[in-house]
């Protein structure tokens, strides 16, 4: 599993009539790989829920998303598993098939919610327009293999 977290001042996603937006919080780009397990979902969600990257009164990154009352916009992003080793056209064979990936993506969002987080999903499998204002900028990559953060 791979997740790119961007700390944002605001973010939104549009896909046709579908629209979600958040203010202060995280925009997550979530990749489910062929070897992603339920344990990977759990360890990454726990790590994200507890990550402290918001500034405290001294300007130090010391506060979690809970501490600042932030929310999460979670976007499914199979292209995080693009393989570009051969040729000029990426291969996506390392991404979990869509029907299984969607279930795992939804499960991941539910696990995040179990940490008392407000989580708003993107439109799985759809072309989406995503807008965000990165705060910092702060962008962090999370990866779990066999239930262990890499």
Q: 20, 77, 108, 142: which is the annotated catalytic residue?
A: 77
Are 11 and 22 in contact by the 8 Å Cβ rule? The answer is: yes
- Residue 77 bears catalytic tag: yes
Distance between start and end Cα atoms, the chain: 10
- Residue 79 bears catalytic tag: yes
Are 3 and 44 in contact by the 8 Å Cβ rule? The answer is: yes
Q: 79, 92, 139, 150: which is the annotated catalytic residue?
A: 79
CA distances from 49 to 20, 25, 90, 98, 128 (A): 20, 11, 32, 25, 25
Q: 29, 54, 78, 108: which is the annotated catalytic residue?
A: 78
3-state secondary structure of 67: helix
- Residue 108 bears catalytic tag: no
Catalytic residues: 77-79
């Amino acid at each position: 599993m791979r997740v790119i977290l961007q700390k944002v001042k605001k973010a939104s996603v549009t896909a046709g009539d579908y629209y979600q937006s958040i203010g202060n919080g995280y925009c997550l780009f979530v990749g489910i790989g062929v070897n992603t397990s339920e344990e990977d979902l759990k360890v990454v969600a726990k790590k994200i829920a507890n990550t402290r990257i918001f500034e405290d009164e001294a300007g130090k990154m010391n506060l979690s998303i809970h501490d600042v009352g932030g929310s999460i916009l979670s976007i499914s992003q199979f292209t995080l598993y693009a393989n570009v080793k051969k040729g000029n056209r990426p291969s996506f064979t390392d991404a979990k098939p869509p029907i299984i990936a969607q279930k795992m993506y939804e499960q991941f969002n539910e696990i995040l919610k179990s940490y008392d987080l407000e989580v708003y999903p993107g439109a799985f499998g759809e072309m989406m327009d995503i807008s965000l204002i990165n705060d910092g900028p702060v962008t962090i990559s999370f990866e779990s293999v066999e239930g262990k953060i890499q």
